[in-house]
Structure 1
Amino acid sequence: MTQQITLERRWQETDVTPERSASAQNNNGTSAARGDKLCAADHGDKVQNVEEKPKVELKKKVTLLRGISIIIGTIIGAGIFISPKGILSHSGSVGMSLIVWIACGVLSLFGALCYAELGTCIKKSGGHYTYIMEAFGPQMAFIRLWSDLIAIRPAGMAVISLAFGQYILEPLFMPCHIPPMAVKLATAIGITSVMYLNSMSVTWTARIQIVLTISKLLAIALIIVPGLYQLFKGETQNFENAFVMSNVKLSGMPLAFYSGMYAYAGWFYLNFVTEEVTNPEKTVPLAICISMAIVTACYVLANVAYYTVMTAEELLDSDAVAVTFAEKLFGKFSIVVPLFVALSCFGSMNGCIFALSRMFYVASREGQLPSVLSMIHIRKNTPLAAVLIMYPMTMLQLFVGDIYSLLNFMSFLRWLFIGVVVLGLIYLRYKKPDLPRPFKVPLFIPVIFCLTCFFMVFLSLYSDPFNTGIGFVISLTGLPAYYILLHFNRRPQWIQRTFDSINRSLQILLEVVPADQ
């Protein structure tokens, strides 16, 4: 009962509208004095005790180690364990595939360095959304937000979660086929547990992310160390004639780079939580550089290890490369590989939810999503509503949607908007030359990376115009949504009152309030 009264009082002091919040501050003289003032008289003297409640806000709890775990934990998912054959099939030879892995790591580092500059000069969370907002305005930022909210992020989360459900059940059903409904149920449990974890504690979310990142690095070490041991023993026959150019086709190289850049995607997630990073001017660039060096080394060495045991033909025929590798070297012990893959997928799910919730939090703070999404739980200090917003869409797509087709439609949009963000960096160099830039990259780095992104977009238009066109149509629905939802001045009062009532009810139900300033 006391908790309910306290929440009601907090609601009255901090309404969802900025106007009422501002007027409350003016009337009370300050918004910081939310504690109860307790007065007592002793022998005629008045003694005033002020018990201040802790601030309701997102704390700066992302240290360098946690930042590295967020980046590595979201980049390394199931791909390196399951199907690195996409690069091999398009590059045409073992040697060229290794060069593509290294080149994609360098290009991804270029993009990460560009985001490091943006993260140190624009110290707001939100990632792509915030940077597009700063450079090109709210309309372009909303289109990116709309695409993420209705399609890209729920579908991406459902896909990586399905990989988790598949591999967590693999040891229980081997060698039988896993029923599809069992996979979806395990996937639903995984999604729910990740959402619950991110809703309850930022600290435990970060700690578990560190543990999961270490576990996936150990899993890769189980591949790299035995593979290099085989290499030092002289198992080099699969590297003979590694650069034979007979099967190399220039037309396939862009597709190989496209697959490689997709495998490295995730280096931008630390920028989604910039406001929670301790000393972001140093932590963000350092975490990005360390993470990209580790990921690139792991990817290249893992592929070298694969080729010490498997020929190129065996790798192309395998549905799960790491499992085939383990079966050849470890025998029955290979059953642990699916568990490591499942843990790797769970780490990617956890990191994605942690970062993406901050984008919705910032978008709400900018007035482009319902205001309840920018509120913080009164005890947990987590953006509870922003964490939960993707849950219904993800579950819907998991059980009724054609997820993989949707990802085909939308995959090129990732690189389109990342290219727009880096173009915005170049534009801000001229638009706001006096903006403080504690970390500044040479101009050729954003130019090369921006051209790479737009080249991959053009490649998508050329290779698959139908699906790419559908993706454009889905994203362009953000234009009417922008004007209808945000600029419809003649909305009937009863609709507005309904929205306000829903917003207020959710605030009370979730026990969230606006963050203290």
Structure 2
Amino acid sequence: MDKFVDEKQPNGDMKLKKNVGLFSGIALVVGTMIGSGVFVSPRGVLAGAGSVAMSLVLWALCGLLALMGALSYAELGSAIPLSGAEHSYLMFTFQPMNKCWGPVPAFLYDWVGVFILRPTMFAILCLSLTTYLIQPFYGDCEADESIKKIMAMVFMIFVAAINCYSVKLATRLQNWLTASKLIAIGVITVGGFYMMATGHTKYISEGFEGTEETEPAALALAFYNGLWAYDGWNNLNFVTEELENPTRNLPLALGFGIPLTTICYLFVNIGYFSVISKEEMVLSDAVAMVWGQKVLGVMAWIMPVFVVLSCLGAANGILFASGRLSLVAARDGHLANVLSFIHIKKCTPLPSLIFTTVIGFLMLLPGNLGELIGFFGFVAWIFYGMTAASLLVLRYTKPDLERPYKVPIIIPIIVLLASIYLVIAPIVTSPRMEYLYVVIFMFSGLFFYFPFVYYKYSFKIFGDITKFLQKIFLIASPESHHD
């Protein structure tokens, strides 16, 4: 293995433990991807697709692109067995090229990922959870926005507390919640096929009717909405150091989890179309609830319960992975050093988990769910493409790097081209000043990179704050406990 990797591996008695096995890895992939997306996005996908059949084709294509991205990440993760996903891969690829500018791609990802991407995902899922939980109490009226946000914060604290207390507890919770959401998908699938078997085929038999009138720009937006439901396919790469036998289990978990999720999404949408017309679906804010009322009757109440559990599982998986990003970024000097510390007894990345939760609070306050989803998708694909490009660069600069798993070169090329399209498409089809603000915010990180990362300037008070936090939270740096 390359020396760069060895130097960054934490060692000593106190470090993150390998508590994530193959089954838990699959649960993290599936459980994170299946969150609120399949219960929110069908409307956006169908509206752009124009027809029942084309919407199913788009769901399948989104799954294929997610699988291609995951296979590219599987090569990177098996060759660079570090937690942190994009951060670690960008650092490994570009840092050796130039001492000054080499770490910049990874730092910009940290800057946007730690302060925007990951906390936004966490906030979106907890807000979705709260919406489905309290909306039934409001009947036909819209639930109060402030109540939803307060409840979302309560669930964010709950998920953070579990992750801070025990890695094993967090992974067990993830396993059980993933099982519950697969049961929910099974209910919709079986119910839908039963309805079609009893003659309810009017809507599903419409085929491609309506697609011929769809504009290419609308199809692009539909594809964008579908990909939101698949996001999270890279979360296992954030916890590689805690994965048992990562060179084997990482590719296996990704290769099994993403096709399983794709099949689930296709079956769920077929189940929807057994009783819901495309006109109804486009107008619905809660497709799963409408389906439950039409098929389950007095048992329709179970659908909001399943959706809440699904969102809770996805939120747990997101925070579990996000805490590792902050830890690894701090370990490489891109964030405050205290964020790389772990609890001396629980061996959990407590400071980074609390930090991600607090930033999630701030992301939740000003925005609504739709704004957060659109903002997240645009920024995420900038770095997915950049990471796919890093794989191509490594094939050229480090041809002798040990690669336990090697993906066909055409796959990362397709992911790179798709990411370019997905970044440009929303700007062309629906230009908004927000996209410019995103780019400005991303590059504003350079104002912090040069003084605090490259020149390593630090305020003396930071040391005092770190010592105070160590005493309060019982945390320490793994590097201070070498054998």
Q: Which of residues 209, 226, 235 is equivalent to 2:191? A: 226
Q: Is the 8 A contact 1:101 1:260 kept in 2?
A: yes
Question: Is 1:147 aligned to 2:112, yes or no?
Answer: yes
* Cα separation, 2, equivalents of 1:115 and 1:164: 29
8 Å CA contact 2:343, 2:476 repeated in 1: yes
Residue of structure 1 equivalent to 2:5? none
* TM-superposition CA deviations, 1:365-408 (whole Å, max 9, x none): 11111221111211101011111112222222323456754553
User: Is the CA contact 1:63–1:278 (under 8 Å) kept in the aligned structure 2?
Assistant: yes
Matched, 1:457 2:423: yes
2:440 paired with 1:468: no
One-letter identity of the residue aligned with 2:453 = L
Contact 1:92 1:249 (C-alpha < 8 Å) held by counterparts: no
Match in the other structure for 1:429:
395
- Alignment of 1:499 with 2:466, yes or no, is no
Deviation at 1:133, TM superposition (A): 1.2
Gaps of 5+ in 2: 1-10, 95-101
Q: What corresponds to 2:281 in structure 1? A: 315
Q: Which residue of 1 aligns with 2:121?
A: 156
1:258-300 residue CA offsets vs partner (Å, 9 max, x unmatched): 1112211111000000000001111001111111111000000
Deviation at 1:174, TM superposition (A): 4.0
CA gap of 1:472–1:407, structure 2 versus 1, over 3 A, is farther
What residue in structure 1 maps to residue 8 of structure 2? none
CA distance, structure 1, for counterparts of residue 180 and residue 300 of structure 2: 16
Tell me if structure 2 keeps the 8 A contact 1:397–1:403: no
Say which of 73, 82, 86 aligns to 1:115. Answer: 73
Work out the CA distance in 2 between the residues paired with 1:402 and 1:81. Answer: 17
Task: Describe the shift of the 1:403–1:216 C-alpha distance in structure 2 as closer, same or farther (beyond 3 A).
Answer: closer
Q: CA deviation at 1:361?
A: 0.7
Question: Does the alignment pair 1:254 with 2:220?
Answer: yes
Q: Indicate the residue corresponding to 1:441 in structure 2.
A: 407
Give 1:448 shift.
1.1
CA contact (8 A) 1:161 1:187 kept: yes
CA contact (8 A) 1:171 1:335 kept: no
Deviation at 1:329, TM superposition (A): 0.9
Q: CA deviation at 1:119?
A: 0.7
The structural deviation recorded for 1:177 is 4.3
One-letter identity of the residue aligned with 2:452: L
Matches within 5 A, 1:141-290: 141-174=106-139, 177-244=142-209, 245-290=211-256
**Secondary structure of the corresponding residue to residue 181 of structure 2:** helix
Aligned residue runs from structure 1 range 28-177, under 5 A:
55-136=13-94, 137-174=102-139, 177=142
2:292 corresponds in structure 1 to 326
Following the alignment from structure 1 to structure 2, what is the Cα–Cα distance between the partners of residues 400 and 313?
A: 32
Match of 1:383 in 2: 349
Q: Structure 1's 89 and 326: CA in aligned 2 closer, same or farther, altered over 3 A?
A: same
Kindly state the Cα deviation for residue 168 of structure 1 after the two structures are TM-superposed: 1.9
Tell me how far 1:82 sits from its aligned partner.
3.1
SS of residue matched to 1:278: coil
Superposition TM-score, scaled by structure 1 size = 0.86
Cα displacement string for residues 108-132 of structure 1 (whole angstroms, at most 9, x for unaligned residues): 1111111111110000000111111
Which of 465, 469, 487 is the matching residue for 2:454? 487
What SS is found at the alignment partner of 1:438?
A: coil
> What letter corresponds to residue 496 of structure 1 in structure 2?
F
Report if aligned partners of 1:209, 1:351 keep a CA contact under 8 Å in 2.
Answer: yes
- Matched residues, number: 461
Instruction: Identify the residue that residue 366 of structure 1 maps to in structure 2.
Output: 332
Q: Which has the larger radius of gyration?
A: 1
String of CA shifts for 1:220-255, please: whole Å, max 9, x gaps. Answer: 111111101122233222133412343333332222
- Per-residue deviation at 1:449? 1.4
Question: In 2, distance between residues paired with 1:418 and 1:381?
Answer: 30
Q: Is the 8 Å Cα contact of residues 165 and 342 (structure 1) preserved in structure 2?
A: yes
The 8 Å contact of residues 322 and 356 in structure 2, kept in 1 or not, is answered as: no
Q: Distance in 2 between matches of 1:333 and 1:159?
A: 27
1:482–1:449 Cα change, 3 Å: same
Deviation at 1:155, TM superposition (A): 2.5
8 Å contact from structure 1 (residues 154, 397) kept in 2: yes
Percent identity, aligned pairs only, is 37
1:478 and 2:448 are equivalent in the alignment: no
Q: Look up the match of 1:513.
A: 476
Q: Is the 8 A contact 2:41 2:229 kept in 1?
A: no
Instruction: Name the aligned partner's letter for residue 346 of structure 1.
Output: L
Shift of 1:185: 2.2
Q: Cα distance, 1:410 vs. partner?
A: 4.5
Q: Which runs of 5+ in 1 are unaligned?
A: 1-30, 33-54
Other structure's SS at 2:46 match: helix
Query: Does the CA contact (< 8 Å) of 2:41 and 2:225 recur in 1?
Result: no
Find the aligned partners of 1:97 and 1:364 in 2 and give their Cα distance: 42
CA drift at 1:336:
1.6
Q: Using the alignment, how far apart are the partners of 2:193 and 2:339 within structure 1?
A: 49
Contact kept in structure 2, 1:269 and 1:352, CA below 8 Å: yes
Alignment of 1:301 with 2:259, yes or no, is no
Structure 2: how far apart are the matches of 1:143 and 1:377?
28
Alpha-carbon distance change, 253 to 175 in structure 1, aligned in 2, over 3 angstroms: closer
CA contact (8 A) 2:149 2:365 kept: yes
Q: 1-side partners of 2:318 and 2:455: how far apart?
A: 33
Q: Give the partner amino acid of 1:194.
A: V
